[in-house]
Structure 1
Amino acid sequence: MPKNIGFLSTRFAGTDGVSLESAKWAEVLWDGDRHVSFWYSGRSDREPGISHVVPEAYFGHPENEWINKQIWGCIRRDPLVSARVRDMVDYLKSTIYDFVRWHEIDLLVPQNALTIPMHVPLGIALTEFLAETGMPAIAHHHDFFWERTRFSVGCVHDYLDMAFPPSLPNIRNVVINRQAEEQLALRKGHSALLIPNVFDFDKPAPQPDEYSKDIREQIGLTEDDIFILQPTRIVPRKGIEHAIKIVGMLKDPRYKLVISHESGDEGSDYKHMLEEMAREEGVDMRIIADRIGEVRQYDDQGRKIYTLWDLYPHCDLVTYPSTYEGFGNALLETIYFRKPLVLNRYSIFVQDIEPKGFRLALMDGIVTNRVVNEVRRILDDNKYRREMVEHNYRVARRFYSYTVLRRSLRTLMTSLTGLG
């Protein structure tokens, strides 16, 4: 029987991993078994008719931001803070009850809401709701609090023990990498099913259309330029200095390094360092964040705003030299668009992804002549490049397709409901 599935998080909007993967889950649940998805969050870009938006559930809500300032970086909690947490928990719990009742929800899918304590009251409210109702839930965990140094010191260990994630018989835990699976078992004693991020590899990647065919011209590239894409925000863990080093060592003015996104709310020091490094290395680095958005549109100057997916078909190589990733969506995106990739062997890649047998230009924390020579061969040898990307597509289709996700979700739902 088709069921009503309730996805719940602080935000379902934009291109963050939670928003993207939850949309894929909803698509697979509908295509496979006609389960209908509804959305509870503080911010949402889902259809209004199936969305339940509660502003206080957003991690950036002023009340939650005040609470976060009081509970992190200290070891004692003021009674006033506990009282305000309790008030917000009671309110949010009532809105979850409303959401479930109005949409006749059969099963909840918390998306990172019971994982990373960016919104502690929401996690507690959801935990209490699940404890009080016994409603079956699949908790999808993307980033645990012990993976982030900013949550290492705080005065809410009682809340973390209770709700991030909780220990309840009606919850099944899902993690996106093996390291998280092991740490969850070690720290909490909870078992989990590993479901990696996925793509619909049975559907061909979108190709340039009338709107996006002029991207290279719009960002100032000529026909002779080699378009090297860094499809990430400008934050230190993305290791963008390695991308600059690679382009610099190629010693060819045709190579242009294009960075798709800005630094966001993490400051501009790293960006300034990269700009200075690019000047010293003689690298033409372009940050085109003002031309990239979540949807296609025109800005106030009449310029086209493109999406990240509009960029992939036009680039010649993708750089992904991250030092840490929970999984690595850009890796799968690059393979999906059949583009070659130079990648730093971050720990999750080494443990979970590398054994699958992908063919990539790999580096181990430093840029060597071997890495640069491999990049040069990829860019210069069309046959070698074509064989590489086709091989990667076949491997990804086997291990990271919607078929894999559909099989795992059916297993979880059978475990929770007894129905296949």
Structure 2
Amino acid sequence: MGVQIGFVGTRFAGTDGVSLESAKWAQVLWDHRHVSHWYSGLSDRDRDTSMVVPHAYFGHPDIEWINRRAFGTRTRTPDVTRRIYALADYLKGTLYEFTRRYDLDLLIVQNALCIPMNIPLGVALTHFIAETGFPTIAHHHDFYWERDRFSVSAVTDMLWTAFPPALPQIQNVTINSFAQEDLAHRRGVSSILVPNVLDFENEPEEADDYARGFRQDIGLEDDDILFLQPTRVVPRKGIEHSISLVAALKNDKCKLVISHASGDEGNEYLAALKDLAESSGVHLLLCDKQVGDKRGYNDDGSKIYTLADAYSQADFITYPSLYEGFGNALLEAFYFRKPVLVNRYSIYVADIEPKGAKVIAMQGYLTKDVVAKVQRIIDDRDYRESMVDFNYEIGKAFFSYSVLRRKLRALVTNFTGQDNL
């Protein structure tokens, strides 16, 4: 018997980590006849199985109004409190309707009970679960205490109540061991560790003629060496290290390509990177207009490629992040069999490095040794191929859908009593 499952989040659309991972969970659950439904403020999921409630989206003007008054200050006015609870009450009603409309057996809350992008939604979920005892899996990707912008708050009472709530009906899921320890230490709440995954059981498709057009369309020659930075342009991605690496190789054929736009933190960092690239003599290409969720065409008739297309054409992946919740781009490098430079961010050190993956690792700064290793990868094909084949097997063993299947089976069985996954 399949279980009717409701995914709840602020947004299920695009290529952010929460949207991508929730789709993978739904895929694995669907493989076992469990049907997924979607509740969010912004959605690109099937309309027949989705309930879109605009106030559930963190970008709704009312929610942004609250956030401006909730963070960066220690006190709030009574009208902020009133508005939060009024919206929470309204959203709670929509959650009742969602569970009734689709006759749900289980909720899976995606990040809405750990990072306070939408405080009323977190409060609404907490009250709904407390009132109904509804079986809930809370999948936590980022906690508010991991982000500086939430450190000064006028809603500390609500953060303690709802982000996340310590309710017996909730099974908590964390994506890395630091988050797991933090949650236990700060809240006395235990959680199951479920890493982010990729479908390593099925190899990526061979690059077709469409994908092979990527280099030419972004202005590269066939013999250029494409260094791909497959991230948004935000400071924690450490892209200045990627520029320094390409500069240190002293080879005009090495080109640095960034796949995503600057995101939601302004364009100052991007301007600084452009200046650095120019002064370092590095050919830097921004390809966010050419890389999208799916293949298609821009308004000017130019082709849109997927991130998979970009990976297929890359020679080397740069991933010098200062901080990551997990590090999906690292798994993608393993999956597409590409050599990768990693800055040893803490989650990598704790959860990925011990598995034995072969990467070029830097410790916060670029050394001659790191540059020499990258040069060897470019020059020595056999060395490169043995490295990437080994990493694919690491991914298959520790970060594949079979790992997720095993973890989800335990979580669902805890509620249903039936081992039907």
Under a length normalisation based on structure 2, what TM-score does the superposition of the two structures give? 0.98
CA-to-aligned-CA distance 1:137-192 (integer Å, 9 cap, x gap)? 11000000000011001111111111100011110000000000000001100000
Query: Counterparts in 2 of 1:14-33, with a 5 A limit?
Result: 14-31=14-31, 33=32
Match of 1:279 in 2: 278
Alpha-carbon separation, structure 1, partners of 2:388 and 2:267: 35
Q: Indicate the residue corresponding to 2:13 in structure 1.
A: 13
1:418 deviation in Å?
2.3
CA distance, structure 2, for counterparts of residue 218 and residue 158 of structure 1:
52
Distance 1:262 1:160 in 2: 31
Using the TM superposition, give the Cα deviation of residue 284 of structure 1 relative to its aligned residue in structure 2, in angstroms.
Answer: 0.7
2:145 aligned residue: 146
Aligned partners of 1:189 and 1:257: how far apart in 2? 45
Asked if 1:213 is matched to 2:212, the reply is yes
Tell me, what secondary structure is at the counterpart of 1:256?
A: strand
How far apart, in 1, do the equivalents of 2:137 and 2:205 lie? Answer: 31
- SS of the residue corresponding to residue 334 of structure 2 reads helix
Deviations 1:273-310 (A, max 9, x none): 11111111111111111212222221111111112111
Given that 2:211 and 2:313 are in contact with CA atoms closer than 8 Å, whether structure 1 keeps it comes out as no
Indicate the residue corresponding to 1:157 in structure 2. 156
Q: 1:77 matched to which residue of 2? A: 76
CA distance in 1 between counterparts of 2:362 and 2:318 reads 11
SS at match of 2:97: helix
Q: d(CA) in 2 for partners of 1:192 and 1:329?
A: 21
Q: Give the conservation status (yes or no) of the 8 Å contact 1:136–1:417.
A: no
Deviation at 1:206, TM superposition (A): 2.5
- Contact 2:107 2:134 (8 Å CA) reproduced: yes
Where does structure 1 differ by over 4 angstroms across 4 or more consecutive aligned residues? none
Deviations 1:212-270 (A, max 9, x none): 22111000011110011000111110000101111101001000000111212211111
Answering whether residue 362 of structure 2 is matched by residue 363 of structure 1, we say: yes
Q: Which amino acid in the other structure matches residue 157 of structure 2?
A: D
Question: What corresponds to 2:396 in structure 1?
Answer: 397
User: Equivalents in 2 of 1:203, 1:393: separation in Å?
Assistant: 11
User: For residues 210 and 229 of structure 1, what CA distance do their matches in structure 2 show?
Assistant: 20
Q: Distance in 1 between matches of 2:99 and 2:343?
A: 43
Partners of 1:231 and 1:159 lie apart in 2 by 36
Contact kept in structure 2, 1:170 and 1:416, CA below 8 Å: no
% same residue: 58
Whether the 8 Å CA contact 2:211–2:312 is kept in 1: the answer is no
Q: Secondary structure at the match of 1:290?
A: coil
Could you tell me how far 1:90 is from its partner in structure 2?
1.1
- Matched with 2:178 is 179
Task: Spell out the pairing of 1:100-179 with structure 2 (5 A cutoff).
Answer: 100-179=99-178
| Counterpart residue number, 1:196 | 195
1:331 matched to 2:327? The reply is no
For the residue of structure 2 that corresponds to 1:211, the secondary structure is helix
| 3-state SS of 1:89 partner | helix
Q: Provide the aligned length of Structure 1 versus Structure 2.
A: 419
Give, in angstroms, the shift of residue 419 of structure 1: 2.3
Per the TM alignment, residue 75 of structure 1 is displaced from its structure 2 partner at its CA by: 1.2
Report the equivalent of 1:303: 302
Matched letter for residue 414 of structure 1: T
Counterpart in 2 of 1:66?
65
Unaligned runs of 5+ in 2: none
Q: Distance in 2 between matches of 1:105 and 1:155?
A: 35
- Cα offset, 1:389, TM superposition: 0.4
Q: 5 Å matches for 1:379-390?
A: 379-390=378-389
Tell me, what secondary structure is at the counterpart of 1:212? helix
Alpha-carbon distance in structure 2 between the residues aligned to 1:291 and 1:146 = 35
What is the TM-score with the length of structure 1 in the denominator?
0.99
